[in-house]
Structure 1
Amino acid sequence: MGNDGGSIPRRIELVKEKQKDVKQNPNVQREAAWFYCALSKRALELPIVADRLGKLYNQDVVIEYILDPAAYGDGDKICPYITTTKDTIKLNLTPNPSYNEQQNDMSTVVGSLDRDLKSQFICPISMKEMNGKHRFVYLDSCGCAFAEQTLKEVTSTQCLSCGKPFDPTNIITINPSSKDEIETMTRAMEDKKAAQKSKKGSKKRKHGEEEDDKKKNKKKQNKVIVDRPPPSSTTAASAVMDKVAKELAERQRTKPVSNAIQSLYTNKDGSSKIKGNYLTMGTFNRYS
């Protein structure tokens, strides 16, 4: 400090300045997103799937992650919303005729990319390469991928590749760059999941009501219906038998009684007996 032969410090050694943000190579980030699986960091290979936030994956890697979420260390940060294969869409990609696998050895570890890679896929209409230099979208209704500009120029409600109908809500941006767009897509994904869950619940309730109705109808059918027996000849026969029995009883009542029977109810002189009847007569008063 006093020029006494010692070292003279510079200002940068005495004053601590704000550390500058480390800027990553945009080309490395772009190629990592468009040429490599977002989960395994391995080169993309068919079949390729995409989630509703536009991230690209190898299909076998997604299946491994669903079966074992700990298979890839940062899976809970990259795609915690993927719990089933239905959370991803299989992409129908158009091969790039100018792609040469030998010249584009993508086995390089992500982070050491220092060359311009050629994409395996292109837009089937505009022939633009799917390499991140052009915005690409896919339709979650069929999985076909196109350059975004192509869908804007060709206004159609049917897929330009397979002809399947779609609406604007089916258009998903692949690897969106802006935070606002990612937030918008996240909200749309959550809303769609909630709508599907609500629809599934209503189907279950409807199915339960139908099952209850079926059970009620089945119970009604299983009830034993007791009908009155049809009239038969036995009814007429029983009426005739009743009539005959009444006539026989009347004849029996008016039938003349023998002298022996009459003597039980009358005296020798013909007068009726007052004391007792034939059940008690002579039982106790044998002298009379």
Structure 2
Amino acid sequence: MGNDGGSIPTRRELVREAARNPSTSQIKEAQREQQEHFWTTCPLSHKPLTRPIVSDSVGNLYNKDAILKFLLPGEEAEGISSKADCEAILCGRVKGLRDVVELKFEVDTERGGPTSDMKGRREGWICPITAKQLGPSVKSVYLVPCGHVFSEEAIREMKGDQCLQCNEPYTEDNVIPILPTKEADKQRLIARSQKLAEQGLTHSLKKAPGSKKRKKHANGESSEVAAEGSSAQATTTMSSSATQPAAANRSGTSTPTPSGSSGIKNAATAMLTARVLEEENEKKRRRKMMGPNENLESLFTKSGSKEPTKDGDFMSRGYSIPAGARR
């Protein structure tokens, strides 16, 4: 291996070096570039963010017209990505305009900022309290449901429960960070969305579509079940009340009158039962007032007569052979 004009490679040249992990500064730089992109570009239409701008439950920013085009019926919409790509970006978080909140930025046209208006002039978004320019370098939040945008520092320092712009009341859970980078903030927003969904509310704190119908349906089911239970209970009570007079007649006892506390909790069933028992008692009272029936008594021998009549009664007399017929 020598004197042939070649070279002998060393081990350092043969073994590939392992990929190095990015440094902290590189990670921060990549994160800043990503934040800059999402602060200036709509991920659905890939166009610059221009007012009106909306945000979903995890703090992402979109052009409102792009959301409207996505929500329009049809497979494809002009000006935005395909439906499948939009679904992959939104991850099912936006099913209607109630799932987004329109943001209200304080605009400073003299400074310039992360976006531009229709005339090409750069407009700046600033915090109305601290006057800091909002963007990737300043952590920003907005309030639900009013949508006013502030720097997190202003909200943290003021420590109020009303919006500083419109005096709309809000809670700490409804302070939404814009494009959050911390994992704790992301998990908090996901937990908030799940909690609102359980309460039948959307991200904008409006009632979710169909929640009233489901509630009415649930009430209808419960009322139907209650009606079926009441009818079954009334049928059972009526059958038992109809059986009691028959058994009482056979045993020679009178039908017990229903007491005021029948043990029936349903008012309609208790009223129906009382009405049935009252009708039964009325029938008995009428029978007693009419007295004995003479036609029926003539068929039987009275228990007080010791000597039967010559021919006997209808039930006891038999067939007698005439005297002339005997041999």
CA distance in structure 2 between the aligned counterparts of 1:18 and 1:195, rounded to whole angstroms: 51
Amino acid across the alignment from 1:133: S
| 1:123 equivalenced with 2:123 (yes/no) | no
- Quote the residue 1:63 is aligned against: 68
Amino acid across the alignment from 1:96: D
**Per-residue CA shift, 1:175-227, capped at 9, x if unaligned?**
00123321331222122123216982564348759x99xxxxxxxxxxxxxxx
**Per-residue CA shift, 1:39-60, capped at 9, x if unaligned?**
2221110100001100000000
Amino acid across the alignment from 2:110: S
TM-score by length of 1: 0.60
**Per-residue CA shift, 1:215-255, capped at 9, x if unaligned?**
xxxxxxxxxxxxxxxxxxxxxxxxxxxxxxxxxxxxxxxxx
* Residues 119 and 130 in structure 1, CA contact (< 8 A), matched pair in contact too: no
Amino acid across the alignment from 2:200: Q
- Quote the residue 1:143 is aligned against: 147
* Residues 54 and 172 in structure 1, CA contact (< 8 A), matched pair in contact too: yes
- Quote the residue 1:170 is aligned against: 174
Question: Displacement, 1:131?
Answer: 1.1
Query: What secondary structure sits across from 2:147 in the alignment?
Result: coil
Amino acid across the alignment from 1:36: T
Match of 1:187 among 188, 191, 195: 191
CA distance in structure 2 between the aligned counterparts of 1:69 and 1:40, rounded to whole angstroms: 16
Match of 1:88 among 88, 94, 100: 100
Question: Displacement, 1:20?
Answer: 4.0
Match of 2:89 among 56, 78, 86: 78
Amino acid across the alignment from 1:98: E
Structure 2 unaligned blocks of 5 or more:
202-206, 225-327
Bigger drift between 51-60 and 78-87 goes to 78-87
* Residues 115 and 124 in structure 2, CA contact (< 8 A), matched pair in contact too: no
Question: Displacement, 1:10?
Answer: 4.8
TM-score by length of 2: 0.53
CA distance in structure 2 between the aligned counterparts of 1:135 and 1:166, rounded to whole angstroms: 19
CA distance in structure 2 between the aligned counterparts of 1:86 and 1:27, rounded to whole angstroms: 30
Change (3 A) 1:206 1:158: farther
Query: What secondary structure sits across from 1:53 in the alignment?
Result: coil
Change (3 A) 1:72 1:19: same
What root-mean-square deviation, in Å, do the aligned CA atoms of Structure 1 and Structure 2 show?
3.4
Structure 1 unaligned blocks of 5 or more:
108-117, 213-288
Query: What secondary structure sits across from 1:120 in the alignment?
Result: strand
Amino acid across the alignment from 1:83: K
Question: Displacement, 1:125?
Answer: 0.8
CA distance in structure 1 between the aligned counterparts of 2:60 and 2:48, rounded to whole angstroms: 14
Question: Displacement, 1:165?
Answer: 0.8
Amino acid across the alignment from 2:56: D
CA distance in structure 1 between the aligned counterparts of 2:188 and 2:18, rounded to whole angstroms: 33
CA distance in structure 2 between the aligned counterparts of 1:106 and 1:142, rounded to whole angstroms: 23
Query: What secondary structure sits across from 1:196 in the alignment?
Result: coil
* Residues 43 and 106 in structure 1, CA contact (< 8 A), matched pair in contact too: no
CA distance in structure 2 between the aligned counterparts of 1:182 and 1:134, rounded to whole angstroms: 17
- Quote the residue 1:112 is aligned against: none
CA distance in structure 2 between the aligned counterparts of 1:100 and 1:172, rounded to whole angstroms: 25
Change (3 A) 1:171 1:104: closer
Change (3 A) 1:135 1:207: same
CA distance in structure 2 between the aligned counterparts of 1:35 and 1:132, rounded to whole angstroms: 10
**Per-residue CA shift, 1:84-132, capped at 9, x if unaligned?**
111110111110242348x97699xxxxxxxxxx762111111111112
Change (3 A) 1:44 1:189: same
- Quote the residue 1:240 is aligned against: none
- Structure showing greater radius of gyration is 1
> Percent same amino acid at aligned positions?
31
CA distance in structure 2 between the aligned counterparts of 1:130 and 1:100, rounded to whole angstroms: 11
- Quote the residue 1:241 is aligned against: none
